[in-house]
Chain A
Amino acid sequence: MSNAVVRKTLISLAVAGAATLAQADVVIGVAGPHTGAYAAFGEQLWKGAEKAAQDINAAGGINGEMITLVKADDACEPKQAVSVANRLVDSDGALAVVGHFCSSSSIPASKIYEEAGVIMVTPASTNPTLTDQGLPNVFRVCGRDDQQGDVAASYIVDKLGAKRVAVIHDKDTYGKGLADAMKSTLNAYGVNEVMYEGLTRGEKDFNALITKIRSVDADVVYFGGLHSEAGPLVRQLREQGSKAIFISGDGIVSDEFVSVAGSPEYVDGVLMTFGAPPTSYPSGAKVIKEFRDAGYEPEGYTLYSYTAMQVAVAALANNNLDPIKGAEWLKTHSVDTVMGKKDFDEKGDLTVSDYVMYEWDAQGKYSVVE
């Protein structure tokens, strides 16, 4: 009995090992939450990367070699991120990876890519730690939370002139990082927050917290987190009769924010920081049109993912498919992408931060605040 079981285990391991052999073309991994609670963002990453790969292949590929994409699911869990990262560099032989989505996945995975000498370009992980680790191969085509926090804080102080700011976060890498960055800039301006607290992700009843916001009489509520909590939060805030201005970051960039909040009237006047609109780059007009013609609205991180793919491909194409040289090359050269010209600094961050303030209106759409 036990003999048979041991044999079966070994056979299954051997089968898993055999999958290593199949390899062709230039393999690029697309890592993100393709299942789980954040699968909607994973889909954005995949759509963007897929389109970019199609376009590049149609234009002759990388120095004549075709790109093959590999979908790698981490479900935003660090444990699975390590596992898929090893699988990508080892079994799939990826030369570059577009991803991951969650910062808490990107950070552990980045070390594996560094060891294997693979370029990692994340379209969405904004936590500063990722590039502050000093790994030579890590790049991001989105901003950093501290840049985003700066924009929000200076807007609160300069434009709104608010004195009583309540800072709320969702106790997660992204949300707390963002809230902390905003808070420290705010304090540097000489404004101290009247309240700093976390809520639990996955809950929907924030009435106790909101009553507390009401009791400290806040003018501005800054929320670091995602739309899944921002929606109920802003709705319950309004239901309790608070007129405080609600500001958040790029975690609420999704049409779902409106449906989760219950009605467009609740999101009316909500402010958020997000990268300059992808549509504002003339270079992206063609891609956006093609997306829409195919019946897909390229919202959120779709174009960031497309950009990340272009950056990774440019690094490989100009260095004879050598990812280590490609990573060095990226730090001294700029890349033309659908979102304009991108330059990277020594850490792998973008040299220019392009965060601007957006406002939601009563129709449930957002536009740049002039």
Chain B
Amino acid sequence: MDIVLQQLVNGLTLGSVYGLIAIGYTMVYGIIGMINFAHGDVYMVSSYITAIAIALISALLTFLGFESFLVVIIGTLFLTIVVTGAYGWVIERVAYRPLRNSSRLAVLISAIGMSLILQNYVQLSQGANQQGVPTMLTGALRFHVGDGFVQITYMKVFILIAAFAGMGILTYVIQKTKLGRMCRATQQDRKMASILGIDTDKIISTVFVIGATMAALAGVLITLDYGAFDFYIGFIIGIKAFTAAVLGGIGSLPGAMLGGLILGLSEALFAGLISSDYKDVFSFSLLVLILIIRPSGLLGKPEVEKV
């Protein structure tokens, strides 16, 4: 019993992280209909910036002669989000905007090229070795269940709170603010939106920055929790997050979070209760199955076939 509960907790935290990264895929897809393959690598860049920010701020604090976990974490979040957002903006400007009127496949190839560029740029400047950040928050909440226990580390609690807070803020921005309305208008009909006086290029840039920001949030959280990363981590988590986005219905914000949670839970439960060898086979099979039953994902709107 305690084991099943523990696996649920494991799956929930993993899934919330997938969900955060999936938002980047789903928003970009919704607005310009492209799969941004470089998004996983934007997350990777944010991991590096997290470690760099921690190193810089810690050095500064030691120089000033005091120590504070809160200052380090807020400073790191701020720095990482700003710099990663800048990466999102520049990537869109350099690699995707010139291709605005080309076929979607051309943009896809450009995205794959961008992903290679980011990986190798980071490898060349930071070295190919494994990197880590020091452990900052230890300890865990433990609940006794029967003769076993279920535990959730403070770091995981922090991840869950931050992930859902990030999601909440984003949902508010998209649903209630003027910017959100402009985003949704552009998503529905780009040409019409521009006729109504929305600078769609600017909105698309904004969406890329928002996507990168969410990836940055995920980057800070995961890097603090697992402590380990290298220039290649973006690939696997990118594919997983993309799967999550499609599972939930690509283009739908709550769908991305739901897809992430389902993917995380199914992975943890399958790995924990059956076999971790075939857990990825299981998640991909689940995806295929869901898409066969619901061809637009769980929360996606079915595509209207226009004549």
Residues of A at the B interface (CB closer than 8 Å) are: 35-40, 171, 197-200, 202-205, 207-209, 211-212, 214-215, 227-228, 231-232, 235-236, 239-241, 254, 256, 258-263, 266
Contacts and interface: CB of A to CB of B under 8 A. Distances in A.
Interface in B212-254: 222, 226-233, 235-237
B232 A202 contact: yes
B14 to A, nearest CB: 5
Contacts of A232: 226-228
Contacts of B268: 207-208
A202 B232 CA distance: 7
Contacts of B275: 197
A338 B72 CA distance: 47
Contact of A197 (B133, B228, B229, B276): B276
B125 interface: no
Contact of B3 (A38, A211, A241, A263): A211
Most buried by B among A38, A171, A204, A239: A204
A227 B230 CA distance: 12
Nearest to A40: B129
Interface in B262-286: 267-269, 271-272, 275-277, 279-280
B228 A212 contact: no
Given A209-B276, A266-B135, 15 more contacts: A36-B128, A37-B128, A38-B128, A40-B128, A198-B276, A198-B277, A202-B233, A205-B14, A208-B7, A212-B271, A232-B226, A239-B153, A241-B149, A254-B129, A259-B130
B123 A39 contact: yes
Contact of A37 (B138, B226, B230, B271): B230
B272 A209 contact: yes
Contacts of A204: 222, 226, 228-229, 233
Nearest to B270: A208
A256 to B, nearest CB: 5
A218 to B, nearest CB: 14
B58 interface: no
15 contacts: A39-B123, A40-B130, A197-B275, A200-B279, A202-B235, A203-B236, A205-B226, A207-B10, A207-B268, A208-B272, A208-B279, A232-B226, A259-B130, A261-B228, A263-B135
Interface of B: 3, 6-7, 10-11, 13-14, 123, 127-135, 138, 140, 149, 151, 153, 222, 226-233, 235-237, 267-269, 271-272, 275-277, 279-280
A200 B134 CA distance: 24
Given A197-B277, A261-B227, A263-B135, A208 B128 contact: no
B142 to A, nearest CB: 8
B236 A211 contact: no
Contacts of B276: 197-199, 208-209, 212
B134 A40 contact: no
Nearest to B17: A205
Contacts of A231: 130, 132, 227-228
A262 B277 contact: no
A262 B225 CA distance: 9
Nearest to A39: B128
A239 B9 CA distance: 14
Given A204-B222, A209-B276, A212-B272, A259 B132 contact: yes
A362 to B, nearest CB: 14
Contact of B151 (A197, A241, A254): A241
Contacts of A254: 129-130
Contacts of B235: 202
B153 A208 contact: no
B222 to A, nearest CB: 7
A208 B226 CA distance: 14
A203 B132 CA distance: 14
